[in-house]
Structure 1
Amino acid sequence: MAEQAQPTPGQRVERLRRAAGLSRERLAGLASLSATTIKFIENGKRSLTLRAAQQLAPHLGVRDLGDLFGPAVTLSLDGHPSHPAVEDVRRALTSWHVTVTGEPATTEYLRGTTDSAWQTWHTSRQQRTEIGALLPGLLNATQRAARLHEGPDRRTALALLAQSYHLAQAYLAWHGDRELCWLTVDRGMAAAMDADDPLALAQAIWYAAHLLRSTGRSDEAVERLREARNLIEPRVADGPAEYAEMLADLHLCAALTRARNGDQGAWADWESARNIVHRALPADFVGLRTRVSRPLVEVYAVMCAVDLGDPDEAQRRAHALDSLTIPSTERRGRHYVELARSADLEGAREATLHLLTKADATSPETVRFSPAARDMLTRLATEAPASVRGDAVELAERAGVNL
């Protein structure tokens, strides 16, 4: 008698969900995942990650995650690679300047240094390695300045300190532990509040919203973003361009948050961002730190379509966007990863590999540290037809994926 095939993790999730009498939408709400994510896990278009399994298990009556993954699956607790500079950044974040003496760096110098660091983040192909080398010194300099300056210079130094924490969060997002990411969010928010600067506070909320979303607290993220928009919107008409830039970015963050929660209302926020960028900013405007621009708005449209489970719409949007106009190497690499996700949803393995290869050529560290890219490479290298598998294995090995 032929041995009966073991059900896949997705099939196990579906069976347990049905046995519990739960719809996908109901389970999604309980587990803080999107209904689209659960649908794709069940039909095999998305792998069941350890984190998703932990979120689903209590609501499916599962006490042993082996009941979801089955006996043929090996679970690794080393879910993502760590960057070599993480420990140096950790030390800089957890060094308290109890006694501070000497002259602080001028706010003009710190602004130039901070702006230069953000420029490096957006233009380097190895942005995490370069920023990992810069961050400890930048954090130390801005922390000292915030302690030593007084009056308006101190508020400026605090706003720049908040920017340093935001850059640390961007660096740590894919390879730092969650507690360290929360530390950057909390420190950035505290510095922005002490700076008493609406733009600094709004940007701190933008970064906090990303972490809230990633921990299943999307409703809180949307509410915080709404509060930030209420803070910024009255200042757009008479303020500098940075206010319109910030308002658009808050809408883009809300759009992506809603999309990842399966909410079609994401398109209303996206349209608001598009209107602001086209009506309130010059056609060639590019935000120094945010990279808000006309091309970036279209990048978000592709991301929203992918997260809403609409690969046709994602491809339609992508075809209208010249990826070379995306004003950030890091964001361009992530854009190719998003397009690969869209191809992956349709089962187009050759196209998925082609797009991941383009992402690697654009920004190797984006592929090396992106959880989505690593997940796709793992499946391509182990499940794809032989005509694809060889190249997938080569790319996976180059990206440091353990097969």
Structure 2
Amino acid sequence: MAGQQQPTPGQRVERLRRAAGLSRERLAGLSGLSPTTVKFIENGRRSLTLRTAQQMAPHLGVRDLGDLFGPSVALSLDARVSHPAVHDVRRALTAWRITVDGEPESTDYLRGAVDSAWQTWHTSRHQRTAAGEILPGLLDATQRAARLHSGADRRTSLTLLAQAHHLAQAFLAWHGDRELVWLTVDRGMSAALDADDPLAISQASWYTAHLLRSVGRSDEALERLREARRLIEPRIADGGPEWAEMLADLHLCAALTRARAGDQGAWSDWNDARAVVERALPDGFVGVRTRVSRPLVDVYAVMCAVELGDPDEARRRAYALDPASIPSVERRGRHFVELARSADLEGAREATLHLLTRAEATSPETVRYSPVAQDMVSRLCREAPASVRAEAVDLAQRIGVTEL
């Protein structure tokens, strides 16, 4: 019938999920989403984005995304780079140099360059633009060093090359080129294994787990994290703080992985991470690459609560956490996005807008390139009360939201 109302994308997802015999939890796990995300898409409290639809489609038996969005929606499946620097980073990653000559940079110099790059990532308000300028040269220098050095210097160069690839993964994670992200993960792990350095291998496992989780392979992610913990734990007593830092990071990654699968066991891993930080790391310690610290443990508690769909717990966990204490501009911006997600779970539109505006003021690129932030802003433009809708539209224009 011409006047019959078409089902919403959320209703289409629910219908196809039930037809496939999948629970929300199972579809979420297969798609790399949280059960709360699937629930809110189905009941209309969250938009179905193209990226999320692409993650769900294979598990719903969908070949044409029009089956999810409806026949009236035109879709372009062209992969579009969302940051201009991705082109240069891709060239650096795929410049397979057959011959390498000349003198390599010293390992001391390269260590300083890698640490400085991570410092820039965490202190710049425009960290993706800054990293995009640094990464091509950093990747080239560490690749050359790994080819030209020998002995102990080559092992050190390989460790630094792995860390350069980890920074490339952090930069690329939100820009839609999944194959390029897999390349950075594989390269980082290969370099760490060639270095035969347990700490480097554990770091590479941490980055591998994040990507596995994002594509719905949470069980594999948790196994990689367990393997890495077995490498690290025997060395905690005699090693420096970087070993305890790594162990805490592995537990935090496991906690978030479990939370995104709807597993309350996430809190056990989170408690283990907190215990390591409080027992084995000095007061005021802040990790170079991932900013492991006491405030970061509290940031993860908020993230886990949001992923578990518990805004009351997220609010409780965030109550005593001063955002200014988070030792990373990028992580501080993401913390405000997580708080916005918590408010969004409760349907608090004004609070969601306020928190996203704070996130954008803290780290504009964290909001501009975060898919979940973009989705929230897009929905606010349609659903926020009239009194603040103009503010939502202004924010959308500042961060480049096109679906208004």
TM-score range, shorter chain: over 0.9
Paired residue for 1:347? 347
1:384 corresponds to 2:387: no
Task: Tell whether the 8 Å contact from 1:364 to 1:399 is kept in structure 2 after alignment.
Answer: yes
CA distance in 2, matches of 1:118, 1:365: 16
Deviation at residue 107 of structure 1 after TM alignment: 0.6
Q: Structure 1 residues 143, 21: closer, same or farther in 2, change over 3 A?
A: closer
Deviations 1:257-281 (A, max 9, x none): 1111111111111110000001111
Q: Structure 1 residues 118, 239: closer, same or farther in 2, change over 3 A?
A: same
Paired residue for 2:255? 255
Farther off after superposition, 76-85 or 166-175? 76-85
Q: TM-score, normalised by structure 1?
A: 0.95
Task: Tell whether the 8 Å contact from 1:32 to 1:55 is kept in structure 2 after alignment.
Answer: yes
Task: Tell whether the 8 Å contact from 1:380 to 1:388 is kept in structure 2 after alignment.
Answer: no
Paired residue for 1:395? 395
Paired residue for 2:175? 175
CA distance in 2, matches of 1:56, 1:176: 16
Q: Structure 1 residues 55, 291: closer, same or farther in 2, change over 3 A?
A: closer
CA distance in 2, matches of 1:29, 1:185: 21
CA distance in 2, matches of 1:252, 1:80: 32
Deviation at residue 25 of structure 1 after TM alignment: 3.2
Letter in 1 for 2:219: D
Alignment of 1:3-402 (within 5 A): 3=3, 5-29=5-29, 31=31, 33-77=33-77, 82-402=82-402
CA distance in 1, matches of 2:243, 2:388: 47
Task: Tell whether the 8 Å contact from 2:81 to 2:176 is kept in structure 1 after alignment.
Answer: no
Task: Tell whether the 8 Å contact from 2:104 to 2:144 is kept in structure 1 after alignment.
Answer: yes
CA distance in 1, matches of 2:306, 2:274: 18
Letter in 1 for 2:343: A
Letter in 1 for 2:9: P
Q: Structure 1 residues 400, 26: closer, same or farther in 2, change over 3 A?
A: closer
> SS where residue 382 of structure 2 aligns?
helix
CA distance in 2, matches of 1:169, 1:57: 25
CA distance in 1, matches of 2:244, 2:234: 10
Farther off after superposition, 145-154 or 324-333? 145-154
Letter in 2 for 1:148: L
Deviations 1:18-50 (A, max 9, x none): 455543234445555433222121122222223
CA distance in 2, matches of 1:80, 1:303: 28
CA distance in 1, matches of 2:234, 2:291: 22
Task: Tell whether the 8 Å contact from 1:381 to 1:393 is kept in structure 2 after alignment.
Answer: yes
CA distance in 1, matches of 2:94, 2:59: 37
Q: Structure 1 residues 7, 98: closer, same or farther in 2, change over 3 A?
A: same
CA distance in 2, matches of 1:111, 1:59: 44
CA distance in 1, matches of 2:191, 2:30: 34
Deviation at residue 400 of structure 1 after TM alignment: 1.0
Q: CA RMSD in A?
A: 1.9
Deviation at residue 5 of structure 1 after TM alignment: 4.1
Task: Tell whether the 8 Å contact from 1:236 to 1:243 is kept in structure 2 after alignment.
Answer: yes
CA distance in 1, matches of 2:140, 2:81: 26
Deviations 1:178-236 (A, max 9, x none): 11111111111111011111111100010111111111111100000000000001100
CA distance in 2, matches of 1:315, 1:215: 28
Task: Tell whether the 8 Å contact from 1:169 to 1:181 is kept in structure 2 after alignment.
Answer: yes
Deviation at residue 74 of structure 1 after TM alignment: 4.4
Unaligned segments of structure 2, at least 5 residues: none
Deviation at residue 84 of structure 1 after TM alignment: 1.2
CA distance in 2, matches of 1:305, 1:79: 32
Task: Tell whether the 8 Å contact from 1:80 to 1:174 is kept in structure 2 after alignment.
Answer: no
CA distance in 2, matches of 1:33, 1:176: 16
CA distance in 1, matches of 2:264, 2:390: 39
Letter in 1 for 2:116: S
* Identity level (%): 79
CA distance in 1, matches of 2:21, 2:98: 57
Q: Structure 1 residues 20, 96: closer, same or farther in 2, change over 3 A?
A: closer
Letter in 1 for 2:123: T
Unaligned segments of structure 1, at least 5 residues: none
Task: Tell whether the 8 Å contact from 1:248 to 1:274 is kept in structure 2 after alignment.
Answer: yes
Q: Structure 1 residues 264, 368: closer, same or farther in 2, change over 3 A?
A: same
Letter in 2 for 1:138: L
CA distance in 1, matches of 2:60, 2:178: 25
Task: Tell whether the 8 Å contact from 2:29 to 2:218 is kept in structure 1 after alignment.
Answer: no
Deviation at residue 133 of structure 1 after TM alignment: 0.6
Task: Tell whether the 8 Å contact from 2:209 to 2:221 is kept in structure 1 after alignment.
Answer: yes
Farther off after superposition, 2-11 or 312-321? 2-11
